[in-house]
Amino acid sequence: MNTKGQGEVISLILIAGIVIGLVGTAYLWGAPLIEKRSTVIDVDLAKDFLYRLDSEIIEIANRGSGETTIDIPKGLLAVVPGDAADKDNNSVILEIIVGQQMLFPGTIVYLGDTRDEVGIYGEADPSILTMKGESFNQDNRILLKSHYRELDTVQASPLRGFRIVVNEGMGTVKGNSKVTVSFERTETITSGAANFGDLVVTHVSVIPF
């Protein structure tokens, strides 16, 4: 009986060891996959937010009126004003920290065909959408940016240019809860466009909090 009992105990120990080993192996291989999936979900949510925010800014600018408030799903939203002495001026930037590195630091991915600082009015989008990878203090970061550029006519006479400008006259503002977008005013700058025509500037307030 003792021998049988000892055999049962040994069997239970072996089974427990096998189970622990299998669980450990599953975690070793499964945890990175789960973390990668979580990262992909976070980035997709951030991209959807950027697309929606960009669409609302453009719609309100085109309409010349209106206001809306959008929830920020994750991360920190910064708005760099159009008159800032900064390479990111006239932009909204969402920064998120992710579990796994999706882009090598410094890598920029364009989320559309728009790249030039001046586009053709009626054909091109008024915004340049990008996604950039960064690493800071061992954190993997993704920066999603919508930069607003000038659109010029090329055939109409007289020549004119159009541009959305965010938060002119303000410093950079940041928030991680919600963002309010509202129309401010429109002004025309004589001979201010890149094509030397008049530049129509639509000012839009974009305030995260």
Mean pLDDT throughout 153-164?
Answer: 93
More confident residue, 57 or 22: 57
- No. of helices (H) and no. of strands (E), the chain: 1, 12
Q: What percent of the chain has pLDDT over 70?
A: 83
Q: Give the model's confidence band at 39: pLDDT under 50 very low, under 70 low, under 90 confident, else very high.
A: confident
Q: Quick one: how far is CA 160 from the chain centroid? A: 30
Dihedral over Cα of 183, 48, 92, 70: its sign: positive
Number of domains in the chain: 1
Ranges of beta strands (E only) in the chain are 67-71, 76-80, 91-98, 108-110, 118-120, 127-136, 139-148, 150-152, 160-166, 173-175, 178-189, 198-208
pLDDT of residue 151 exceeding 60: yes
ω into residue 32 within 30 of 0, thus cis? no
Q: Does residue 23 register a pLDDT over 50?
A: no
**Full-model pTM:** 0.82
Q: Which domain does 93 fall in, by range?
A: 2-208
Q: Is the pLDDT of residue 28 over 60?
A: no
